[in-house]
Amino acid sequence: MNPTRVRTRVAPSPTGDPHVGTAYVALVNYCFARQHGGEFILRIEDTDRARSTAESERVILEALRWCGLEWDEGPDVGGPFGPYRQSERSSIYASYAERLLVSGHAFKCFCTPQRLEEMRVAQRAAGLTSRYDGRCLTYSAQEVAQREAAGEPFVVRLRVPDEGVCVVNDLRRGPIEFEYSSVDMQVLVKSDGMPTYHLANVVDDHLMEITHVFRGEEWVSSAPKHLLLYSYFGWQPPQLLHLPLLRNPDKSKLSKRKNPTGILFFRAMGYLPEALLNFLALLVNAVRDGEDELLDLPAIVRRFDLEHVPIGGPVFDLAKLDWLNGRYIRERLDPPGFVQRVAEWAISPERLTRMAALAAPRIERLSDLGPLLAFLFSGRLALTAQSFESAKLDALSIRRALSLGLTEFDKLATWNVFAIERAIGRIAAALGKKSRDVARPFYIAITGSPTSIPLYDSMELLGRDLVRERLRNALDLLGTPSKRELQEWESLLQSDEAVV
RNA sequence: GGCCCCAUCGUCUAGUGGCCUAGGACGCCGCCCUCUCACGGCGGUGACGCGGGUUCGACUCCCGCUGGGGCUACCA
């Protein structure tokens, strides 16, 4: 019916560590494209200047490659529809925003953040949908020109009808109806001139000739805005399918405070990429009764079935991943292959060199190496609440310190000894304790012992994901902070930051 | 609060009105194999959230409730 070649994309935002949900979404897009002999594109959505980093982009690409997914077009491999990095396409978005402005489908808005905030608070208090009230829509052309000439900062907003219904056709969910009156007049161009996701994603999907968009469920509620944009531009929108969000065991959205979420975590933990991808594939399309669950990528693509992609949010079941990974290790790896994987995993020459340098001054026999460095080759450590009794701090301070570590470490732009040391320093200051005393429980949580090779080096070597895992584990042992505690403790840190 | 999505064993799911006294996988339990453990084999535990309809017949269709989730930013 439609002779157009199938083109799908995954569009991660380089604002943090690669998320396993990104791999999940990428896999679906990959499978569909491959199954139809189409193209799978990787696009970087870095329109958030404040949060996007080149390092994050690099790591995300590396992580997706590690998973075994290859894209046909992308910022690193190029392609006929480039550039594939939104920050390099500013002029394109500007011209399309201008088009909307001219046609009256968008307008300049000079409202201050404070006014918007007050408006929303009032709307919510009145039990209404929070939605831009259209004040700047009442200004005359001259008034807009005047304000602009006066140097007033402004954003460009999408004009949304006050009445009528928008129908979003989801490939699996069917038609979803939204009253336009419940759709906000989204900002399309920020005051810094950068487009928001909404504008950029629509323009790019059109220009890059994307035919099918498989994306996370969190986008359902902004689909009407996107559809509106397509219609304003006179473009044919792509087919949409919203995939369920991966969940924590308590069914909430998978979050790194509670669970491993980073692709890098799985690598650091010693999962094989084939197993991870296989596990995700099982979440996308379950096997038939009696069919083997061990599937390589070609098999995953072959049996991919759009009609049977689930829409209920699955809990990410680590136990099942463990089982699958075990099968890969014992069924798919021959001895040389196994050795190679182990080498890639943890004993690269660089890593070994670094470990040796840290360990050598502290041992008397080579055989001391095993116990001293075992924690660097382990997943979960065998700790109990008693393990922390040798720490200098009181129980509450320990929990506070570890919990603050969990949040502080995630804020670090780069993961190295220096940054880690400063983070610990900040935590110590926030708690009014000495750094060395605060470091003690971290030694125990991370290395398994109060005496070990240097903590900060160990943490860098172990990687942020494994450190996070160990802190989570320690906190589980000592008592996971309640929501209230978490809030109180965080404020401790914030007030400290304000002083600095 | 408002808008939207979802709902089968603890978990992932099969099931698209009769094939279902609901099937498979992970987990858990037991037995077997075995120098330990693991693997492997065999068996077991265990679910259609609730209430109304529709129908000769509902896990399957409709409505309500309840529960869970997402969004509600000049973040994506």
pLDDT tens figures, A296-348: 999 999 999 999 999 999 999 999 999 999 999 999 999 999 999 998 887 77
Nucleotide nearest the Cα atom of A242 (by C1'): B5
Nucleotides of B under 7 A from a protein CB: 1-8, 10-16, 23-27, 39-40, 68-76
Q: How far is the CA of A124 from the C1' of B1 (A)?
A: 6
Q: How far is CA A277 from CA A23, A28, A30, A262, A482, in A?
A: 8, 11, 12, 13, 34
Q: How far is CA A435 from CA A41, A423, A467, in A?
A: 47, 10, 18
The verdict on whether A256 is a catalytic residue reads yes
pLDDT for position A495 = 53
Nucleotide nearest the Cα atom of A129 (by C1'): B2
CA atoms within 13 A on the CB side of A138: 5
Do the bridges between strand A39-42 and strand A7-10 make them parallel or antiparallel, or are there none, so unpaired? parallel
Confirm whether pTM is higher than 0.90.
yes
User: What would the two tokens of residue A251 be?
Assistant: 């069914």
Nearest-CA residue to the C1' of B23?
A289
Which of A273, A329, A308 is closest to A20 using CA atoms? A273
What angle in degrees, to the nearest 10, is found between the helix axes of A318-327 and A273-284? 130
How long, in residues, is chain A? 500
Which of A101, A102, A240, A203 is closest to A158 using CA atoms? A101
Nearest-CA residue to the C1' of B25?
A293
Nucleotide nearest the Cα atom of A292 (by C1'): B25
Q: How far is the CA of A268 from the C1' of B43 (A)?
A: 38
Which of A198, A156, A161 is closest to A181 using CA atoms? A161
pLDDT for position A290 = 82
Which of A238, A221, A128 is closest to A178 using CA atoms? A221
Helix (H, G, I), strand (E, B) or coil at A215: strand
pLDDT for position A383 = 85
What end-to-end distance do the CA atoms of chain A give, in Å? 64
Strand residues in A280-357 grouped as ranges (E): none
ipTM confidence: 0.94
CB A266 within 8 Å of CB A311: no
Nearest-CA residue to the C1' of B71?
A221
User: What would the two tokens of residue A475 be?
Assistant: 């906190």
Q: How far is the CA of A395 from the C1' of B48 (A)?
A: 46
Burial class (CB in 10 A: 0-12, 13-18, 19+), A496: middle
Burial class (CB in 10 A: 0-12, 13-18, 19+), A281: buried
Nearest-CA residue to the C1' of B2?
A129
| pLDDT digits 0-9 by tens, A137-155 | 888 888 888 998 988 899 9
Question: What residues have CB less than 8 Å from A227, skipping those under 6 apart?
Answer: A166, A168, A237
Question: What residues have CB less than 8 Å from A267, skipping those under 6 apart?
Answer: A63, A66, A273, A345
Do the bridges between strand A155-158 and strand A212-216 make them parallel or antiparallel, or are there none, so unpaired? unpaired
Q: How far is the CA of A415 from the C1' of B71 (A)?
A: 32
Burial class (CB in 10 A: 0-12, 13-18, 19+), A500: exposed
CA A305 to chain centre: 26
Phi-psi region of A448 (alpha: psi -120 to 50; beta: other; left: phi over 0): left
Nucleotide nearest the Cα atom of A193 (by C1'): B74
Q: How far is the CA of A430 from the C1' of B2 (A)?
A: 39
Nucleotide nearest the Cα atom of A189 (by C1'): B74
Q: How far is the CA of A227 from the C1' of B1 (A)?
A: 27
Q: How far is the CA of A281 from the C1' of B26 (A)?
A: 15
Distance, in Å, from the CA atom of A230 to the CA atom of A97, rounded to the nearest integer, reads: 13
Q: How far is the CA of A282 from the C1' of B26 (A)?
A: 12
Nearest-CA residue to the C1' of B70?
A218
Nucleotide nearest the Cα atom of A126 (by C1'): B1
Helix, strand, coil share of chain A (percent; to 5): 55, 10, 35
User: What would the two tokens of residue A412 be?
Assistant: 């670090």
Q: Enumerate residue ranges in chain A where pLDDT < 50.
A: 1, 496-500
Catalytic-role residue among A256, A258, A320, A483: A256
